[in-house]
Chain A
Amino acid sequence: MTKTMYEKIWDANLVHEPESGSPLLFVDRHLMHEVTSPQAFEGLRLQNRQVRNVHSILGTIDHCVPTKDRYNIVDAIAKKQVETMTSNCEENEINLYGMDSDQNGVIHIVVPEHGFVHPGMVVVCGDSHTATHGAFGALAFGIGTSEVEHVMATQTLQQKKAKTMLVKVEGKLPAYSTAKDIALAIIAVTGTAGGTGYVMEFAGDTITDLTMEGRMTLCNMAIEAGARAGLVAPDQVTYDYLQGREFAPKGEYWEQAVAYWESMKTDEGAEFDEVITLKAEDIAPQVSWGTSPEQVISVTGVVPSPSDFDNEVKAQACASALKYMDVQAGQKITDINIDIVFVGSCTNGRIEDFRATAEIIKGKKVADGVQAIAVPGSFPVKIQAEKEGLDKIFVEAGWEWRDPGCSMCLAMNGDELKDGQRSASTSNRNFEGRQGKGGRTHLVSPAMAGAASIAGHFVDIRDWK
């Protein structure tokens, strides 16, 4: 019988399927950060339970970390959260890239840097953007804090099998269109609920042509399509990325591991519950105009009107988004002015992202009245960028070159939009208030963010000098 990669991973990790009750799925890797774990540790303590497999866990501190003066956490409650993470990891001997580590950074950036996730694994984290690690052909998904506690205590999760969706993207992307634009274009098709109940596998030559970092950006946003997880089949690109990293298989295990990973790919002819196909040539640089990632359009487009939607719910959502975002139906995307530009996050905080922005802003100056901040996803990213001289390009263009953290992606660390401010942001969510109460977020790729910082409004970088 032919199987999809998801079904193979499910079968390989199925511990037990009792007659009554829930199937139990084995968890190979458990990622952790300070916001969603303290209550789970507390739960373990109250029940006098132990962490079962300490080696399966890797932790970092990222959400609450200031990107300027990083040790000065002004908010006492946030400070306590950071201290709690540190002491919980110490007590349980968990590998933590904490505040003092030169490996510290955003969890979904740090984990791949260390080769901690491999194809075929089941990977969880109390964070919806765990989907990122699907780029390695691992089944990676976000869980709540009760489940964080459950995984620590049992190394398993009570799971229900998801449906499968194949998302095929074929052909050559237009100049300056990136994995971010593919992700947004897919969400424009599926909507934010279109993937609910599904695991998406991304395939097609456009996807296999992506670098590992591009695949991470794409899978990262599978959750914005509502999918439980996103997957890309492992290939030579994956293996070249993994080989030699700290937690990658070593010596004789390497060949064995690659053979295993190859065997986990979707069989030819395997059936998916749903298939959607996109042509890469249709994917121009994207800009979100509303308060949901599905409210997105090509940079060449105009802001839609509620009457453009035949679905009443979507029409209503459009009307409400226009009001919140203070944009007008029919307004050209390139006529929208911005106040703040943010490049960073688990979606677009990797070295290729900063190179892409730097290429656009090199030798230019940030527009009057615009604040632009670059927040590397980790210290290794920051150091690599500095080696390449990217930090100088940013600073000379009038950008702020910050320390790593989640920063303005969700604005827990003090970096945030003020009421009414508008951002061009490389992050993943444009929900109301996501970047600060009353703040207005437009999601874009790093190159598009770079161009917006210079022009002061969105521009089609393909015909912009």
Chain B
Amino acid sequence: MQPYIKHTSIAALMDRSNVDTDQIIPKNFMKKVERTGFGINLFHNWRFLADNVTPNPDFELNKPAFQGAKILVAGENFGCGSSREHAPWAIADYGFNTIISTSFADIFFSNCFKNSILPIKVTETELASLMAEIAANEGVEFTVDLAEQKVTTPGGLVINFDVDAFRKESLLEGLDDIGWTLTHEDKISEYEQAQKKRLPWLWENA
């Protein structure tokens, strides 16, 4: 996984709540067996007109000022719905590495960390301030510093955020999750041996 480094990037505004995974990546684009190339399908149904090709001029991410944005600022309950990792794959492939909202759906939230995307939870007031700053100055660049757990803006906002210590370390270092877990392989084997004695019927078909 790519390490997450401090950056200053355009923040795009998506003033919608409950953005679900069916919007992030509609199901017709989930038939591939690869992890790559989903960015072109991100928000397809909102992003393109009925011909599926022409960019929808009314869709916020199509605004020229938001091109190249790495930070997405969106309304509450972002990523609700299905467990499809195609959603964070599409988001990352499109170019975002940070999403700021007041809340995220559980599965989407953990999927982000597996794909070098930092989901940042802020308060309603903080979100309103961030959104207002973008609305007043589209194309504005925010700075995200994961090590310091801080978002700063040219308008003078300084927002400190919480992040689980282990997830932070994993993102900063670009750690391989499976590799880390396998350093505890002895504990897993121990557990399995004990379970075979405790609940033998679970291993009957082994």
A residues lining the B interface (CB < 8 Å): 15-16, 18, 20-22, 24, 26, 28, 35-36, 38-39, 42, 47, 49, 53, 55, 64, 75, 77-78, 80-81, 84, 118, 121, 126-128, 130, 141-147, 149-150, 153-156, 158, 160, 192-193, 196-197, 226, 228, 247, 249-250, 253, 256-257, 260, 292, 313, 316-317, 320, 410-412, 419, 429, 431-434, 437
Contacts and interface: CB of A to CB of B under 8 A. Distances in A.
A248 B200 CA distance: 12
B191 A26 contact: yes
B76 A193 contact: yes
Given A78-B31, A155-B188, A193-B76, A36 B83 contact: yes
A411 B27 contact: yes
A434 B22 contact: yes
A16 B187 contact: yes
Q: Give 10 nearest A-B pairs by CB, closest first.
A: A142-B83, A146-B114, A144-B85, A38-B33, A249-B201, A144-B111, A253-B201, A16-B187, A193-B77, A55-B206
Contacts of A16: 184, 187-188, 191
B174 to A, nearest CB: 13
Interface string B58-77: 00000000000000000111
B199 interface: yes
Contact of B22 (A42, A250, A431): A431
A84 B33 contact: yes
A240 B106 CA distance: 33
B111 A128 contact: no
Given A15-B187, A193-B103, A313-B76, A21 B180 contact: yes
Contact of B188 (A21, A24, A253, A419): A24
Interface in B173-197: 177-178, 180-182, 184-185, 187-188, 191-192, 195
Given A24-B184, A121-B202, A142-B83, 8 more contacts: A42-B33, A143-B83, A143-B107, A150-B181, A158-B181, A160-B164, A247-B205, A249-B204
Contacts of B85: 36, 39, 126, 144-146
Nearest to B164: A160
16 contacts: A15-B188, A42-B34, A55-B203, A78-B31, A80-B31, A81-B32, A126-B85, A128-B83, A147-B114, A153-B181, A155-B188, A197-B106, A249-B201, A313-B76, A412-B31, A434-B27
A24 B187 contact: yes
B13 to A, nearest CB: 15
Nearest to A316: B17
A24 B182 CA distance: 11
Nearest to B36: A39
A81 B22 contact: no
B105 A193 contact: yes
B187 A196 contact: no
A226 B80 contact: yes
A197 B107 CA distance: 10
Contact of A64 (B31, B177, B199): B31
A77 B83 contact: no
B85 to A, nearest CB: 4
B100 to A, nearest CB: 16
Interface in B64-101: 75-77, 80-85, 88
Determine which residue in B17, B182, B184 has the highest number of CB atoms from chain A within 10 A of its CB, and name it. Answer: B17
A193 B19 CA distance: 12
Contacts of A437: 26, 45
Interface in B1-50: 16-18, 20, 22-23, 26-28, 30-35, 45, 50
B201 A149 contact: no
Given A24-B184, A24-B187, A128-B82, A253 B200 contact: yes
A129 B82 CA distance: 8
A15 B188 CA distance: 6
A142 B177 contact: no
B111 A146 contact: yes
Given A80-B33, A144-B111, A313-B76, A20 B205 contact: no
A193 B34 CA distance: 30
Contacts of B184: 15-16, 18, 24
B27 A154 contact: no
B136 interface: no
A121 B187 CA distance: 19
Contacts of B53: none
B80 to A, nearest CB: 5
Contacts of A260: 199
B27 A49 contact: no
Contacts of B177: 146, 150, 158
Determine which residue in B16, B107, B114, B180 has the highest number of CB atoms from chain A within 10 A of its CB, and name it. Answer: B107
Contacts of A144: 83-85, 88, 107, 110-111, 114
B18 A292 contact: yes
Contact of A156 (B16, B28, B103, B181): B181
A412 B28 contact: yes
Nearest to B88: A144
A257 B23 contact: no
Contacts of A80: 31, 33
Contacts of B18: 192-193, 292, 317
Determine which residue in B33, B184, B188 has the highest number of CB atoms from chain A within 10 A of its CB, and name it. Answer: B33
Contacts of A55: 203, 205-206
Contacts of B195: 26
B83 A126 contact: yes
A147 B114 CA distance: 8
B45 A433 contact: yes
Nearest to B167: A22
A15 B191 contact: yes
Contact of A192 (B28, B50, B80, B181): B80
Contact of A313 (B17, B33, B50, B182): B17
Contacts of B115: 146
Determine which residue in B30, B200, B201 has the highest number of CB atoms from chain A within 10 A of its CB, and name it. Answer: B201
A250 B107 CA distance: 35
Nearest to B33: A38
A179 B114 CA distance: 35
A429 B81 contact: yes
